Amino acid sequence: MTETAQGLRVLAIDDVPAALADLCGMLREAPEVSDVVAAGDPLSALKLLRSDEFDAVFLDISMPGLDGLELAALLRKLANPPVIVFVTAYEAHAVAAFGIGAVDYLLKPVRAERLAEALTRVGRFSQSEEPTQQRGTPDAMAALPVESGGRTRYVPRRDVQFVEAHGDYVRLHARSGVHLVRMPISRLEEYWSGAGFVRTHRGFLVALSAVRELRSDSVGGLLAHTDLGDVPVSRRHARELRQQLLHAAQRGELERRA
């Protein structure tokens, strides 16, 4: 990364001139930022990124030709990739954005306090002592953004005990409450299966570390009991769940939630 004591070098990308000007203006006013370069389309941005280095890229998603998600995927292949922050009017792309490795996702119109939060995240990642190639992408899916009433909060994956499908959304059952996030449960399973979440039913995921015991319900079905409620277990998934719980117990992972 190119960050120095003077601050971050940032590339801002948006095909709407007014939106790009607003974003650049906010970035230039931020004390963490030393230099801001603007690009009005993805191809111009690629040329800049191949000839120069930036600590972070703030980019829109909906752009003609090459959209922001495709551009971000290309940036991850650079020898020294910048930290990525998406700036968009559409919340629906959040899951894909974080899956690519973005450190934050800002909704338009961008508020000054949210931009400050994003720059703090950028700074933490860019100041890592490890080379970029060794760091890889951050585990951005370790927390999910929840937008409500113009505010964004992040629900840590470690606090979620089970997930329930709800149409195009999922309900995250966490110690902080129940949070609604727009994404299919199948996509969340892809991201969280490697972090100890398993499918128990067509409409449910459960954190192995949250399961206290398996119980029978009143009609002979199987339930995975957690502190936040019982999760149904279908016959199709029962054997796999038992095996995974056994392996987790052998590794001592079920004792971590005391």
- Helical residues (DSSP H) of 79-159, grouped into ranges: 94-100, 112-126, 132-135
Is the pLDDT at 99 greater than 70, yes or no?
no
More confident of the two residues 20 and 92 = 20
CA distance 128 to 135: 8
Beta bridge partners of residue 72, listed in sequence order: none
Q: Where does the pLDDT of residue 4 fall: very low under 50, low under 70, confident under 90, or very high at 90 and above?
A: very low
Min mean pLDDT across 59-73, 89-103, 130-144 is at: 130-144
Min mean pLDDT across 10-19, 67-76, 107-116, 143-152 is at: 143-152
Cβ contact 201:190 at 8 Å: no
Residues 6 or more apart in contact with residue 65 via CB below 8 angstroms:
41, 42, 43
More confident of the two residues 65 and 42 = 42
Which pLDDT score is estimated for 98? 66
Which pLDDT score is estimated for 241? 92
Which pLDDT score is estimated for 77? 77
Q: Where does the pLDDT of residue 137 fall: very low under 50, low under 70, confident under 90, or very high at 90 and above?
A: very low
Segment (H or E) for 201? strand 197-201
Q: For 179-197, how does the pLDDT look when each residue is reduced to its tens digit (9 = 90+)?
A: 988 788 887 888 788 888 9
List, in order of start, the domains of the chain with CATH numbers: 8-138 (3.40.50.2300), 155-255 (2.40.50.1020)
CA distance 190 to 197: 10
Cβ contact 83:104 at 8 Å: no
Which pLDDT score is estimated for 106? 87
Q: Where does the pLDDT of residue 48 fall: very low under 50, low under 70, confident under 90, or very high at 90 and above?
A: very high
More confident of the two residues 185 and 140 = 185
Is the pLDDT at 171 greater than 50, yes or no?
yes
Min mean pLDDT across 44-48, 107-111, 141-145 is at: 141-145
Beta bridge partners of residue 213, listed in sequence order: 225
Cβ contact 233:241 at 8 Å: yes
